[in-house]
Amino acid sequence: MENRVLIIDYDENHTHLLTLRLQYEGYTVECSRTGEEGVQWVQTESWSMILLAMQLPDRNGMDVLRQIRTIDEGTPVILLSEEDHWLYKVRGLDQGANDYMVKPVQVAELMARIRVCLRHRQVEGNEDEAAQQDVTMAMGELVIHPGLREVTQGDTKIDLTPTEFNLLMYLVENRNQVMTREQILQHVWGYEFFGNTNIVDVYIRYLRQKLDYPFKQKRIRTCRGIGYFIRDASQSQCI
């Protein structure tokens, strides 16, 4: 199957460099200089991967990402940004990006992340059939419907972002086992560990605000200096 990459970036030199490397690696590449043109490409064509610059001449890259996700929920998107602050990374991932890299990117690292995103998407595709059966998972009054990607607590539906849901599923599938921040980052975000793991702590806090605090629960536990786990029936010395 042909792997087609769409690059949405105003920087011609950067785009040219990426295009040459991608073509060398066997990808078919199309480029857009503006967010509006990029959205049109997404509307009319199918893509294996989208590389989206955050700084564009006509629109903010975050707005373009949101529009892309209304059109196409599944194609991996890697954000390319000049901003290195963790808050921008969290916002981008929370809006549906699969990865975030700071310019100037190391091309070899970008190629590796593209390969990981594509492998991750292939695994998700293989799991779709099983997910359609929607085998319900329950922990007390907390009920998870993987196929529908829905979570309820009693009669209350809990709205989770895609990343929050994936994080919850990973913890539930490994319930009562401490998962390190590096393990969580790799499995939930779909790429190998690069750099700071603070983003995991941020999303754990988001989950607690939605799953634990409103219902006076303490399901998600911290194992200090190691990572996190979700508690089912068994107990642990970690708090």
pLDDT in tens, 167-210: 999 999 999 999 999 889 888 876 554 556 688 899 999 999 99
Whether residue 143 sits in one domain with residue 87: no
**122 and 33 in a common domain:** yes
Distance CA 102, CA 79 (A): 8
> Which CATH number characterizes residue 68's domain?
3.40.50.2300
Model-wide pTM > 0.75: no
- CA 229, CA 221: separation in Å to the nearest integer? 5
The tally of domains found in the chain comes to: 2
77, 110, 129 - which closes a domain: 129
- 236 is a domain residue: no
Domain that holds residue 143: 133-230
Asked whether residue 138 falls in the same domain as residue 89, the answer is no
Give the pLDDT confidence of 68-125 residue by residue, as tens digits: 998 888 899 999 999 988 889 999 998 899 999 999 999 999 999 999 888 877 766 5
Residues 82 and 138 in one domain: no
Helix H or strand E segment including 80: strand 77-81
